Structure 1
Amino acid sequence: MRVSDFDFFLPSDLIAQHPPAERGDSRMLLVDRHTGNSTDAHFRDFPAQLRPGDLLILNNSRVIPARLFARRAGLRTQHNSPAPTGQVEVLLTQPLGNDRWRALVKPGRKVPTGEHLIFEAPENRVEAPVNRVPQVREANLGIRAQARTLLEAKVIESGDFGERTLQFSPTQDFFGALEQLGHMPLPPYIHRSEEDEEEDRTRYQTVYAGANTHGSAAAPTAGLHFTPQVLEQIKARGVQIEYLTLHVGLGTFQPVRVEDLADIRLHEEPYTLPATTAEAIHKAKSEGQRIIAVGTTTTRTLEHIAAINRIEPHSGTTSIFLQPGHRFQLVNALLTNFHLPKSTLLMLVSALAETENQTTTGREKILRAYTHAIEQHYRFFSYGDCMFLS
């Protein structure tokens, strides 16, 4: 199959630029994966779509303020000197352990291997995130306020398309520093006068993100619809809720650069499968109950652990690419947002819509559902509406 087979036209005014006024106040398209038939609904109807005995699995990874601005150490200036030049943008995309991170750097041509980067917060900015450009001018003085170095990193490896591996100097509270320095890594199709806003700190984060599961460079967006009240309603229906962790990384930001699906290679992303979730999966499979994934990240993790036959507590990495023709071993249904044209996520959803002995392909079913969603003015992408494919 060709990547162009998954293209569709989306009017730009349907790309959600802000979350709905209230979390969970979203529309939901119900799609029968066997027939392709669709029904308009709202996310508040989601608990009613679940059955007693279902197992609902969510990704509890926490999004970090991963978009940072740094300057090259060789361009360091003294206090009250003109503002520094050579500023670079750094997007942390994957934790590698031992204070190392994979990142995208712009402009990459100015940041070779061996370069040192300095991440500073102005003195008058302690608890709140810094402005887009980490420098300020004191009122009526026209001079640069003293900046504090919060993080330092060395580029230890270079890759294509601005990819870099950074070795950060040890710090007592790395994620605390990110909270002061960083911006939420909103996708490039969200166009704002400001890079991010205060509401993004909470709304671009699931309500169930773990306290110690920092690491995602993008939100597992299907989970953004959930509220504590909805989770309680689901439990009240006799549905078991469990979690896994997959840190969303570089693949979210990189476009597909090949035309043949057979040539697609995804970046590895780290995941953790807890013991309680592994046990729940075994129980659901043995009892013939449905396993419902919230989001494509959860789906990829579940199908990866099935492919390697390791449904037990462990951590690892996955680069699994789910495309039409894949036979799903664990996931029976999926709650997901609407995805970009020609994206691997759209291919994944199309794969789940494939059923045996059907004359209509999964791709055709999903593109037909997307056409309906466009005609009915559903909101698309990260802050948009959702689809339940079952």
Structure 2
Amino acid sequence: MKVEELDFELPQELIAQMPAENRSESRLLVLNRKTGDISDRRFSGIAEYLFPGDCLVLNDTKVLPARFFARRTTGASLEGLYLDMSGGGLWHVMLKNSRKLKEGEVFDLLSSHGSVFCKILAERRLDDGTWHIRPQSDLPAEKLLEHIGYAPLPPYIKRSRGGEKPDYDRQRYQTVYARQSGAVAAPTAGLHFTDELLNRLDEKGISRAHVTLHVGAGTFKPVTADNLEDHEIHSERFEIDAQNADIINRTHQAGGRIVAVGTTSVRTLETVAQSGGIHAASGDTRLFIMPGFEYRAVDAMITNFHLPKSTLLALVGAFAGMDNIKNAYTHAVKERYHFFSYGDAMLIY
């Protein structure tokens, strides 16, 4: 598939810089993938399209405050993104403005107030440009990030040094059901749910299952190849336990629909389903879903609007059909929907 087929024109002003004031009052584009029909709704009314016996599958990953700031002894500023631990107390990070940084150099890790929190050693620059660094602190990474970190908003959401209201972003760039720490980007389709809305769906007889997929920075990696098949898909850690696998299987057996909330839930379910049915599993997935892929587990999905020429746009195109997705995105632009992480949502069924 040519990557150009995933391109579309998007006015910059439609890229959401802030979330809706109330989570569930974001807009919802509803796409019937069989007929191609499109409806404009509010997310708070999603229960209209969900039925007793359906099951929502939610990714319960918790976003780490993974963005941080540092300062070299020269006074030069650094901006970092924590990716994961690399063993032996080393952090694996991305560092902006690090071209002149040298291996073995010690610099200052700054607190959220701008003061020096601790020293940090630039241990090794990796071949892909990322770094292994070693904080000179006894705190575990997650605890240390609580002191120094900001919400790891994607680069198209503009915030100077963490923004004027960093606590607001840390709260809103997190689902209300997040519980398993490890992501450095949010599963954004879930940001539209409130506890109140979830309770209303419970009362309607819609069950819930949880999976975990820790969203990595690779989710924003642009596709630079001409052919989609030549793109190297990123790897992400996932887990589904026996209890939640059983909820999903019982839903299928009773004739209910599996409604995946977000492409991360889709990717988890379809990864597990490749080996036959839904069962307890964990590991790393490099599943690349593109047009021609045969879905085995997902009957409907809730998702945000994705970047042009992205693997996530290919994923939803594989589910709904590329013509339907192109029509839906043209409609969304015309009707001034908001796009990407803090933007509006789609329901595809």
TM-score normalised to structure 2 length = 0.92
Match of 1:262, SS? helix
Q: 1:10 to 1:153 in 2, by over 3 A?
A: same
Tell me, yes or no, if the aligned pair for 1:19 and 1:384 is still in contact at 8 Å.
Answer: yes
**How far did 1:87 drift?**
3.4
Deviations 1:19-39 (A, max 9, x none): 111121111000011122111
Amino acid at match of 1:178: L
Alignment of 1:27-42 (within 5 A): 27-42=27-42
Tell me, yes or no, if the aligned pair for 1:326 and 1:351 is still in contact at 8 Å.
Answer: yes
Larger Rg: 1
Deviations 1:169-193 (A, max 9, x none): 6733432221221111111111245
Q: Identity percentage over the alignment?
A: 43
In the alignment of these two chains, the number of paired residues is 347
Amino acid at match of 1:327: E
Deviations 1:286-342 (A, max 9, x none): 333211100011111111111134733332111211100000010111000111111
Q: 1:97 to 1:223 in 2, by over 3 A?
A: farther
1:236 equivalenced with 2:203 (yes/no): yes
1:380 equivalenced with 2:316 (yes/no): no
**How far did 1:376 drift?**
0.8
Query: Could you say which residue in structure 2 is the equivalent of 1:142?
Result: none
Return the alpha-carbon distance in structure 2 between the equivalents of residues 324 and 108 of structure 1: 39
Tell me, yes or no, if the aligned pair for 1:203 and 1:224 is still in contact at 8 Å.
Answer: yes
Amino acid at match of 2:8: F
Query: Could you say which residue in structure 1 is the equivalent of 2:97?
Result: 107
Return the alpha-carbon distance in structure 2 between the equivalents of residues 153 and 274 of structure 1: 38
**How far did 1:166 drift?**
4.3
Amino acid at match of 2:253: S
Amino acid at match of 2:96: K
Match of 2:199, SS? helix
Deviates further, 307-316 or 221-230: 307-316
1:177 to 144, 149, 156: 144
Return the alpha-carbon distance in structure 1 between the equivalents of residues 100 and 87 of structure 2: 25
1:327 to 283, 294, 308: 294
Unaligned runs of 5+ residues in structure 2 are: none
Query: Could you say which residue in structure 2 is the equivalent of 1:4?
Result: 4
1:336 equivalenced with 2:326 (yes/no): no
Unaligned runs of 5+ residues in structure 1 are: 76-83, 122-128, 136-146, 354-361
TM-score normalised to structure 1 length = 0.83
Measured on the aligned residues, the alpha-carbon RMSD in Å equals 2.2
Query: Could you say which residue in structure 1 is the equivalent of 2:170?
Result: 201
1:89 equivalenced with 2:89 (yes/no): no
Alignment of 1:277-288 (within 5 A): 277-288=244-255
